[in-house]
Structure 1
Amino acid sequence: MVFILAISEGGVSMIRKLLYKAKARRALIQAFRSAGLFFKNAKDRPVYPIIHDVHINEDDESLRYVFTLLNGMDPKEVAKKKYVFRQHFGRHLELKGDLKRYVLTIYSEAMTEELAYVAQEIAEAVQKHGLGIICGKDRLGRYVSFDMRKQPHILIAGETGSGKSTQLRSILTTLIRTKKPSELQLYLGDCKKSEFHIFRNVEHVQCVLSSAKDIAKMLRHIKKELDERSNLTEVFEVSHVDDLPAAQRRPYLVVCIDEFVMLRKNEEIMEILTEVVAIGRTLGVFAVLSMQRPNAQVLDTTIRANLTVSMGFKLRDKMEARIVNTPGAEALEVSGRFIMNSNKIYEIQAPYLTIDKAKALLDPYIVSKGPVKEVTPEPAATKLTEEDVFFDVIDEKR
C-alpha cells in the first residue's frame, strides 16, 4: 500500500525511486499469499503464480503486472479474491484475464464516476470523423470517439439503470448536432415506447416507430434503399456510395432500434437487420442495436460478427458479457461505466445527458411535421405503394 500512496503524493519521479521492480514483485507475492493463491511444494514451501512482467507506465501513472496461474489453480478463485488485491493495492485497479493469464493494473487515480454532457467538448471530440460517434472518457480523462463509416454497426447492452439509455440519447443527439439533415437520416425503433419520443420532430428523424408491424415497413424501405444504392455503385463502378457522382449522392442512414430483442420472432425483421449489418457499410447504411438482456439466439453469429463495436454496460453475468463480447461488464459497479470492444477493449465513462438537456440541445432542429411523411419521393407516373409511405405513423408524426 506504501507504493500506491507514493504515486498520488509524489508523481512519476517518486514512482521511479520507490517502485522498483523487485519491491513491486514482492508486493504482488504478498497479495497472492493473502488470497491463498499458492501451492505447497515437496519442501512445504509456497509456490505462487508466475509473474512475467512488472511495468511502470509514466503516461497514466500506473503499475501493470502480468502473471499466470499454475496448472491446477482455479481461475474462479482469482475473481473471488479480487477484494484481496484491493486491500493490498487500493480500489483503483483492473484485473483482467481468464483461465491462466491475467493482467493486474493499478492506477494512482480513480476514473470519474459521472461525466456531464458538454456539447462543445463533445462536438470537438467527434469533428475529425465523417460520422462521429461519441463514447465517453477513458481512464486518462480523454474523450473516446470513432467514425461510424469505418466501424459501422454498434451493439449496446446493459441492465436497467446502467446507463444504456443515456448513451443512446448522447449518440443520437451528437449525430443530429454534427450532421445536416441532407447528410444524415435517422430511422428509430422504440420497442419500449419510452426512449425516442424527444427525437420525434427532429428534422433528421424520418420516423419513430414502436410496433413490429411498423418497424417491418420501415425496414422494407431500408432494404429497398440498400438495393438502389447497390445498383448505383455497380452502374458507376465505385466501391462506396461516398464515391458516387454528386448528383447521385445519398445521405447516410442510421437505423437505431432499442430493445430489438422484442422483435426476435419476426423473421423478416431479423433477415433485413442481418443484411444491413452485413453489407451496409459500403452503402452508407448503419445500425445501432440495443438490448437489456443479451440473447445468443437473437445475436446469431452473422449479426454478432458484423457488429463492429460493442458497448457493454453492467450485465448480469459473464455469459451475457461474453455474448456482447465485452469481458468484465458483469463486474462494473458505476452507473454510466461500460466496456467497449472495437479495435481494442476500453473501460469508458459515458456522458450523462438528461432528457431536459437533450430537448434544449435539439430545439434548433425541431420542425413542424406534415400529416404524412413520405419515405421516398414519388417517381414520375408511378404511385406510391403502402410500403413507400408509413400510413400508420400519421399520428406519431404530427
Structure 2
Amino acid sequence: MKENIFAEIKNDIRSIIMPMLNMEIPLAVTETIEALWEDKRRPQIHAKKKIANGYTFTIALPAGVSFKDFYSKLDYFKDAAGGNNVQVDISQSGKMAILNISTDLLGDYFTYSADYPLKGILPIPIGYSKRGLEVIDLASLPHMLIGGTTGGGKSNAIHVIANSLLNLPEPPVIVLIDLKMSEYNYLENRVMLVTELETACQALDRLVQEMRKRQLLLKQSKFVNIGKYNAKCVTKLPYIVLIIDELAELKDKDAQEDLETLLRLCRSVGICNVAATQRPSSKIFTSKSFGDAKANFSGRLCYQVISNIDSRIILDSGEGALLPSIPGRAMWRNGRELIEIQTPYLDPEEVQQIEQFQTGGKAKGQQAYRNSNGVGRIGCKTNTTPTISIR
C-alpha cells in the first residue's frame, strides 16, 4: 500500500517538473525546489554562479532536510534542466549543497597536449570534467593513489603525470619504481627507473635518508617548508616525486615501512608520492607496517573497478564500480570533492619521436638539470647500488 502511495506521489511530482524541460537553468532549479519542498522545509539558493557551460548553485539546507535527501532529488533537477542534454552533480560543503548543472557533456576521448595552461609548482592535468580541464598541483596534495582494472587507464595516467612534470621549466627529480617492467623504458634517460625489488628497497631507504637531511636543514635554517626555503635561499632544493607501479608488488616489509614513513612525514620537505595498483585489495593497506598508508593519500584517482568494495578501498565511495566501460574514465577525489573525469590519452611512442627530434634551450636545460641531480637508471645488474644525489 505504502509503495503505491509513494509511486503516485513520485508520478505527480514528475508531472509538475517534466513540462519544465529545456527552460532556463536558474528558473528550472528554482521551480524544482518549489515543487519538491513545502515553504517551511524549502532549501534556499544562497548563491548562483554562471560557469562556462552552465551554472553552479550553493543551496542552504534547512533543518529537517539532509544532504542525502537533497541528493536523492538529482534526477528531478536533471529532468527540469534538460534531461539527457545536461550533466548534473551534487556535492556537500558543510551545511550547504553544491548543485552543478552543465550543458557540456563529458567527452569520451581527449588527446594529451604539451601546451596545457598549467599553474603551480608541480601542475598535472588529471583530466577533463564537465567544468573543463582539471589541473592539480602535486606539491600541495602531495600524495596521490591511483586504482583501476587492466585497460582502464591507470598506466596512461602515469605517462601523463611523468611527462607533464618532466616538461616543466624546473622539473622535479622523479624516481619511478616499475617492478612489472612494463612500459616506462622510454623514460630511462629522464628519470631514475627502478625495476627490481631489491633496488626499490634501497631507493626507498635513500629517500627516507634524504627526507631526514632536509628536515634537519629546514630546522637549522628556521624554515617551515621547502617553499619558504626556496623563496629565500639561492641554492634551491628540487622537488622529488616517487611513482610506484604496481603498489601490490612492493612486498618487502622494510620497503613498506619506508613508504609509510615518507607518506607521513615528507610533505614539508618537497617529496611527493604517486602509487598505482590494479588490485586494490584491503590486504595492501591492513598489514602492521602499512596500515595507515591509505589515509595519507589525499588525492584519489579511481578508474573502473570490478566491485563496490574495490571502489571503496580507493575512493571511500562506490562510484568507481559504476563507471562506464570507457578507457580513461575515472572518478577523482580530493578531500570532499568527488568528480567524474576523462583522462587525456598520451602515446609514449609519440613522446619518443618528439624527443628524438627535439633540440633547443628548453630541452637541453631540462636534461642538464636532471643530470646535475644524479638522475639515472637503477635496477640493472651493472648498477645495483642506487644513488639519489639531490644536491
TM-score computed with the length of structure 2 as normaliser: 0.71
Q: How many correspondences in the alignment? A: 335
Q: Distance in 2 between matches of 1:376 and 1:227?
A: 19
Choose the corresponding residue for 1:304, options 294, 299, 302: 294
Give SS of 1:115's match: coil
1:339 equivalent in structure 2: 331
Give SS of 2:144's match: strand
1:173 equivalent in structure 2: 163
Which of 321-330 and 273-282 deviates more? 321-330
Q: Distance in 1 between matches of 2:214 and 2:184?
A: 28
Q: 1:346-385 residue pairs with structure 2 within 5 A?
A: 346-363=339-356, 364=358
Give SS of 2:292's match: helix
Q: Distance in 1 between matches of 2:379 and 2:285?
A: 31
Change (3 A) 1:256 1:195: same
Choose the corresponding residue for 2:382, options 365, 369, 394: 394
Shift of 1:360: 3.4
2:237 matches 1:272: no
Change (3 A) 1:248 1:178: closer
Residue deviations 1:248-290, cap 9 Å, x none? 5322111101111111x31111111111111111111111100
8 A Cα contact 1:337 1:349, kept in partner: yes
Q: Distance in 1 between matches of 2:29 and 2:139?
A: 45
Residue deviations 1:56-94, cap 9 Å, x none? 875343698999xx9xxxx9xx8xxx8xx88x9337545
Q: Distance in 2 between matches of 1:160 and 1:366?
A: 36
Choose the corresponding residue for 1:293, options 258, 279, 297: 279
Change (3 A) 1:20 1:145: closer
1:195 equivalent in structure 2: 183
Q: Which amino acid aligns with 1:311?
A: L
Choose the corresponding residue for 2:204, options 207, 215, 219: 219
Q: Distance in 1 between matches of 2:321 and 2:379?
A: 42
8 A Cα contact 1:136 1:351, kept in partner: yes
8 A Cα contact 1:62 1:108, kept in partner: no
Structure 1 unaligned regions, length at least 5: 8-13, 30-49, 378-388
2:3 equivalent in structure 1: none
2:149 matches 1:159: yes
Choose the corresponding residue for 2:225, options 237, 240, 258: 240
Change (3 A) 1:227 1:2: same
Q: Distance in 2 between matches of 1:374 and 1:104?
A: 49
Q: Distance in 1 between matches of 2:113 and 2:374?
A: 36
Q: Distance in 1 between matches of 2:136 and 2:87?
A: 26
2:28 matches 1:19: yes
Give me the CA root mean square deviation: 4.3
TM-score computed with the length of structure 1 as normaliser: 0.69
Q: Distance in 2 between matches of 1:359 and 1:269?
A: 32
Shift of 1:305: 1.8
Q: Distance in 2 between matches of 1:266 and 1:20?
A: 54
2:177 matches 1:184: no
Q: Which amino acid aligns with 1:342?
A: N
- Per chain length, whose mean CA-contact separation is higher, i.e. which structure has more relative contact order (CA < 8 Å, sep 6+)? 2
Structure 2 unaligned regions, length at least 5: 1-17, 387-391
Identical-residue share of aligned pairs (%): 20
